[in-house]
């Protein structure tokens, strides 16, 4: 399953979650246009062929060290400490749920 399919599964899973909007709602093709958002803030997105989530920096480091995620880098190649590319598709829903809670509250789930 590619990143677009994986994101589509998440879109379905969060369809009824309060404040969550699916990709493409803005109609623009800019950064974040392939993203799930909560109250306008991105918590999961498809980028560069991967599924990326926003989590606390410590959690990202833990997941990267455990091989569950890879660091996500911006366009210049600099790792972004609160973003991780999920390398284990079996963890997509769990990590996206954590990301939703983190972005919604500003605190780890």
Q: How far apart are CA 11 and CA 80, in angstroms?
A: 24
Q: How far apart are CA 84 and CA 70, in angstroms?
A: 6
Residue 88 CA: distances (Å) to CA of 22, 67, 80, 99: 22, 8, 19, 15
**Residue span of the structural domain in which 88 resides:** 3-105
Mean pLDDT over 2-30 rounds to 84
Q: What is the tally of structural domains in the chain? A: 1
pLDDT digits (tens, 9 = 90+) for 24-62: 755 445 556 689 999 999 999 998 889 999 999 999 999
Residue 85 — φ and ψ, nearest 5°? -95, 120
pTM of the model: 0.88
Q: Is the distance from CB of 42 to CB of 51 less than 8 angstroms?
A: no
Amino acid 72: pLDDT? 94
Amino acid 31: pLDDT? 55
Q: What is the CATH classification number for the domain harbouring 51?
A: 3.30.1460
């Amino acid at each position: 399953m590619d990143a677009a399919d994986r994101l589509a599964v998440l879109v379905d899973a969060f369809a009824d979650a309060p404040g969550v909007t699916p990709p493409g709602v803005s109609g623009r093709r800019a950064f974040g246009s392939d993203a799930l958002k909560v109250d306008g803030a991105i918590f999961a997105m498809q980028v560069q062929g991967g599924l990326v989530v926003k989590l606390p920096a410590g959690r990202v480091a833990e997941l990267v060290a455990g091989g569950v995620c890879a660091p996500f880098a911006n366009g210049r190649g600099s790792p972004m400490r609160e973003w991780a590319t999920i390398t284990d598709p079996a963890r997509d829903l769990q990590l996206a749920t954590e990301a939703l809670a983190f972005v919604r509250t500003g605190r780890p789930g």
